[in-house]
């Protein structure tokens, strides 16, 4: 978590850079307007206005193009977590393909191995998952910018196994004393689960074709094949399960954009 | 924009903060106790209250706590129903049932021993509660009824097994007639 925090702050700083750029262009317009007011001559501002409008028209139309292509990358959160959390090992590959101006086909493929220590249970979940769906970019980019603030949906499916390492008997009347932890080692394999994810994410272009992104996910189980006499406490890709069908997730990605073709942007009127 | 990002980050870290939030609810059905009801031997349909019964496990330092009192009277019961825990790590549990415990007249004090024979099964309850043990009294010899080490005749006249499967505390498993 400490590592993620560090990366998140650096990511925030990166985003704030873009913010300041955006703000610089706005004040220049207002400053010209101010000078108009100071002048208080009715004829002068008319001239200024016409000049401005003609120059902008000739500038914007030919320049703006959108790049289309494939973005591939990796989730840094899962990799860094494996370094400091001895109970966790995981990797996630992410990718998306720009379908239209605002829609992206998106997918994640991953593998996780996590040991969960609960108050009375210790279990290990191992497995592979695949998520696919789309992202909708709701961010209107300025010239040459390719940032994304998106919402999206995913369908996720996981095939995994669970190993019950040890457990405790819950006895509300410990007259005969607390029974020590029972070492088990039962393995439940061939487990499956599927779910729907709602994704909220941001991706920012850091340099050239490299993007960093951050996404938050709210998951809801559709199917959950549980083992007999045990529960799926952790589902790779879905993360920890709760009493209901809901779960949460996040990732922190670094991706590389491979441009395939360009499309001219038609100005909106 | 910046505010949204900050909010998103706060939301993420608050989520990651609440991991071990679940506690086993007291109302959850976990390891059950053996429920015994006492009946009158002369009219077997009538519940009969015991008088100052002390139930002490074989090898246990003290009796089962029935009352809320702070002195030794908490080990005594004068009700017609008791619930006693079975061992979750052995297939037999032996209890001594001492009637009129602490009575000044020693001829009234009577001790009987019952050994319960059963099989166990550990069932998954939940993440917070872990597993529970349920018991199944042996079909052929669910119990052995003996007198105390110092014989004082049997005060329990008959024992009847009502339910072999002990998986909750809502039903009576054993009826004792005296």
Is B18 domain-assigned? Answer: no
Last residue of a domain, one of A35, A63, A91: A63
Residue A63 pLDDT greater than 80, yes or no: no
CB contacts of B128 in chain A (<8 Å) are: 118-120
pLDDT digits (tens, 9 = 90+) for B36-81: 999 999 999 999 999 999 999 998 888 999 988 888 889 999 999 9
CB contacts of B33 in chain A (<8 Å) are: 173
Looking at every residue in chain B, the average pLDDT score rounds to: 87
pLDDT > 70 fraction of chain B, expressed in percent and rounded: 88
Q: By residue range, what is the domain housing residue A150? A: 66-264
More confident residue, B9 or A82: A82
Q: Residue B28's pLDDT band (boundaries 50, 70, 90)? A: confident
pLDDT at res. A62: 58
Is residue B12 classed exposed, middle or buried when 0-12, 13-18 and 19+ CB atoms within 10 A define those classes?
Answer: buried
Q: By residue range, what is the domain housing residue B133? A: 25-177
Is A269 domain-assigned? Answer: no
Is B11 domain-assigned? Answer: no
Number of domains in chain A: 2
Last residue of a domain, one of A12, A36, A63: A63
Last residue of a domain, one of A63, A94, A109: A63
pLDDT at res. B3: 64
Q: Residue B98's pLDDT band (boundaries 50, 70, 90)? A: very high
Q: How far apart are the first and last CA of chain A?
A: 46
Residue A7 pLDDT greater than 70, yes or no: no
Q: Are A73 and A16 found together in one domain?
A: no
Q: Which residue of A has its CA nearest to B94?
A: A176
pLDDT at res. B122: 93
DSSP chain B: -HHHHHHHHHHHHHHHH-SS-----TTS--SPPEEEEEE-SSSTTSB---SSEEEEETT-SSBPP-S--SSGGGGEE-SSEEEEPPPSSSSEEEEEEEETTT-SSTTT-EEEEEEEEEEEEEEEEETTTEEEEEEEE-SS-SEEEEE-SS----S--EEEES-SEE--SSS--EEEE-
- The nearest CA of chain B is from the CA of A194 a distance in Å of 20
CB contacts of B85 in chain A (<8 Å) are: 171, 173-176
CB contacts of B2 in chain A (<8 Å) are: 15-16, 19
Is A112 domain-assigned? Answer: yes
Is B5 domain-assigned? Answer: no
Is A148 domain-assigned? Answer: yes
Q: Are A97 and A11 found together in one domain?
A: no
CATH number, domain with residue A80 = 2.40.160.20
pLDDT at res. A66: 86
Of A168, A175, A240, which is closest to B64 when you measure between CB atoms? A175
Number of domains in chain B: 1
Is A27 domain-assigned? Answer: yes
Helix axes A43-63, A2-39, angle to 10 degrees: 140
pLDDT at res. A259: 92
Closest CA to A167 of B24, B8, B20, B125: B125
Q: Residue A3's pLDDT band (boundaries 50, 70, 90)? A: low
Average pLDDT over residues B149-156: 88
Is B108 domain-assigned? Answer: yes
Inter-chain contact A176–B88, Cβ cutoff 8 Å? yes
pLDDT at res. A65: 82
Collapsing DSSP to helix, strand or coil, A30 comes out as helix
Average pLDDT over residues A165-182: 90
- The nearest CA of chain A is from the CA of B18 a distance in Å of 12
């Amino acid at each position: 978590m400490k590592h993620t925090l560090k990366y998140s702050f650096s990511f925030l700083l990166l985003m704030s850079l873009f913010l300041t750029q955006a703000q610089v262009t706005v004040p220049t317009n207002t400053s010209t307007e101010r000078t108009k007011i100071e002048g208080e001559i009715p004829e002068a501002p008319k001239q200024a206005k016409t000049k401005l409008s003609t120059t902008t028209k000739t500038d914007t139309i030919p320049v703006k193009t959108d790049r289309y292509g494939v973005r591939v990358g990796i989730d840094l959160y899962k990799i860094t977590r494996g370094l400091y959390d001895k109970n966790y090992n995981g990797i996630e590959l992410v990718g998306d393909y720009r379908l239209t101006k605002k829609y992206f086909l998106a997918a994640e493929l991953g593998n996780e191995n996590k040991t969960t220590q609960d108050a009375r249970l210790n279990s290990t979940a191992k497995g592979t998952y695949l998520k696919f769906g789309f992202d909708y970019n709701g961010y209107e980019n300025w010239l040459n910018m390719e940032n994304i603030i998106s919402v999206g949906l995913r369908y996720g499916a996981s095939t995994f196994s669970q190993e019950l390492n040890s457990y405790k008997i819950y006895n509300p009347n410990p007259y005969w004393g607390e029974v020590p932890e029972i070492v088990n080692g039962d393995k439940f394999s061939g487990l499956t689960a599927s779910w729907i994810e709602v994704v909220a994410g941001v991706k920012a272009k850091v340099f050239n074709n490299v993007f960093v992104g951050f996404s938050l996910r709210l998951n809801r189980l559709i199917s959950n094949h549980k083992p007999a006499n045990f529960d799926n406490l952790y589902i790779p890709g879905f993360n920890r399960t709760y009493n209901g069908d809901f779960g949460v997730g996040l990732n922190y990605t670094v991706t590389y954009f491979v441009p395939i073709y360009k499309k001219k942007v038609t100005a909106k009127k | 924009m910046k505010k949204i990002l900050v909010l998103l980050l706060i939301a993420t870290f608050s989520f990651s903060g609440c991991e071990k939030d679940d506690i086993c609810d007291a109302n959850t059905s976990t390891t059950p106790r053996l429920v015994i009801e006492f009946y009158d031997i002369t009219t077997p349909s009538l519940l009969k209250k015991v008088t100052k019964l002390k139930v002490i496990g074989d090898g246990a330092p003290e009796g089962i706590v029935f009352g809320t009192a702070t002195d030794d009277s908490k080990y005594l019961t004068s009700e017609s129903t008791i619930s006693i825990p079975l061992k979750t790590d052995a297939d037999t549990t032996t209890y001594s049932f001492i009637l009129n415990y602490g009575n000044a007249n020693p001829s009234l004090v009577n001790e009987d021993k019952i050994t319960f024979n059963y099989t166990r099964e550990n069932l998954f309850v939940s993440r917070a509660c872990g597993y529970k043990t349920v018991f199944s009294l042996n079909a052929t010899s669910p119990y052995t009824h003996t007198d105390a080490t110092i014989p004082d005749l049997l005060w329990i006249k008959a024992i009847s097994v009502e339910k072999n499967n002990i998986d909750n505390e809502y039903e009576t498993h054993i009826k004792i007639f005296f």
